[in-house]
């Protein structure tokens, strides 16, 4: 009788360890999250690291293409993803921890292209629009009936296509484009913001796979609340807003 009991205990311990395994994934998206000389940086990254410290946990942050990070968070219990937009379409797919950074999204076009005047989504529909593959902006525009979407795995490609006249518009976060233009050595005067998308503006979040253990999710919710109460969150965000 001892062997079945021992085997059962080992199996339970295996399940417990698996349920408590923490994976953290994100993408390269300055100023929210990015690697610089092998060091994880960004306002979202620093918030997640501060929450980790509050929970007493340790886990490396993996920087992957967004589509891969998103699929891992959808399929693997214990996976935390950030900085992710919270949309109606995603609401039931994750266990949401909370807001980690302010986020604003807009249409951008070449400043020299004076014929483009986008004031509504309907104005933009006939135009070719560059978006990030598999993210909330692409999902949103697809749901709104956009047909001429150019989806790529790196916003740099859309910026280059915009500069070459291969697309009319690109949709991107207002903070991200500042960093993107800087890193690509592009004069900001060449690109103009044409219309904010209010439905996609608000905050970026961190969220767990929907089958993640409740104790793990709750510990992160409590940790996030604590750093907002003790001033750590405001200090982190304030540092990046001053820079950008």
How far, in Å, CA of 153 to CA of 133, rounded? Answer: 5
Dihedrals φ, ψ of 233, to 5°?
Answer: -60, -50
Domain residue limits, the chain: 2-102+202-243, 105-200
Find all residues with CB under 8 Å of 38, minimum gap 6, and list them.
none
For the chain, the straight-line distance linking the first and the last C-alpha, in angstroms and rounded, comes to 66
Task: Show the tokens assigned to 154.
Answer: 């790196």
In this structure, the strands spanning 79-85 and 191-196 are: unpaired
Question: What's residue 90's pLDDT?
Answer: 95
**Chosen CATH of 105-200 out of 2.60.40.420, 3.40.50.360, 2.30.29.30, 3.40.190.10:** 3.40.190.10
Task: Show the tokens assigned to 46.
Answer: 């620093």
Residues 132 and 80: beta-carbon distance below 8 Å: no
Find all residues with CB under 8 Å of 244, minimum gap 6, and list them.
31, 175, 178, 179
In the chain (244 residues long), the average pLDDT of successive 10-residue segments reads 50 49 94 94 97 96 96 98 93 98 93 94 98 92 96 94 98 89 93 93 95 98 98 90 42
**Chosen CATH of 2-102+202-243 out of 3.40.50.1980, 3.40.630.30, 3.40.190.10, 2.40.50.220:** 3.40.190.10
Range 215-223 contact pairs with CB under 8 angstroms and sequence separation of 24 or more: 216/19, 216/20, 216/22, 216/78, 217/95, 217/97, 219/55, 219/57, 220/51, 220/55, 220/80, 220/97, 221/97, 221/98, 222/54, 222/55, 223/50, 223/51, 223/52, 223/53, 223/54, 223/55
Find all residues with CB under 8 Å of 28, minimum gap 6, and list them.
34, 35, 63
How far, in Å, CA of 181 to CA of 113, rounded? Answer: 18
Does this model's pTM top 0.95? My answer is no
72-107 burial, b at 16+ Cβ within 10 Å, e below that, comes to bbeeebbbbbbbbbbeeebeeebbbbbbbbbbbbbb
Question: What's residue 51's pLDDT?
Answer: 99
Question: What's residue 134's pLDDT?
Answer: 86
Domains 2-102+202-243 and 105-200 share a fold: yes
Nearest to 55 by CA among 231, 209, 230, 218: 218
Write down how long the chain is.
Answer: 244
Question: What's residue 6's pLDDT?
Answer: 52
């Amino acid at each position: 009788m001892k062997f079945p009991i021992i085997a059962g205990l080992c199996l339970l311990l295996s399940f417990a360890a698996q349920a408590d395994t923490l994976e953290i994934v994100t993408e390269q998206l300055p100023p929210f999250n990015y690697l610089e000389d092998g060091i994880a940086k960004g306002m979202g990254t620093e918030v997640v690291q501060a929450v980790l410290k509050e929970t007493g946990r340790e886990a490396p942050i993996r920087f992957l293409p967004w589509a891969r990070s998103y699929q891992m968070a959808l399929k693997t219990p214990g996976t935390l993803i950030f900085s992710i937009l919270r949309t109606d379409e995603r609401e039931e797919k994750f266990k949401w921890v909370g807001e980690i950074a302010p986020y604003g999204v807009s249409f951008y076009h070449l400043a020299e292209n004076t014929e483009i005047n986008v004031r509504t989504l309907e104005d933009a529909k006939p135009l070719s629009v560059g978006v990030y593959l598999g993210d909330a902006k692409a999902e949103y525009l697809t749901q709104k009936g956009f047909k001429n979407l150019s989806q790529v795995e790196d916003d740099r490609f859309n910026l280059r296509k915009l500069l070459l006249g291969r697309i009319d518009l690109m949709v991107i976060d207002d903070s991200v484009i500042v960093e993107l233009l800087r890193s690509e050595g592009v004069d900001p005067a060449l690109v103009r913001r044409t219309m904010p998308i209010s439905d996609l503006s608000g905050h970026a979040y961190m969220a767990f796979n929907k089958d993640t253990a409740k104790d793990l999710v709750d510990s992160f919710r409590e940790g996030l609340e604590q750093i907002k109460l003790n001033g750590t969150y405001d200090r982190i965000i304030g540092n990046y807003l001053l820079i950008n």
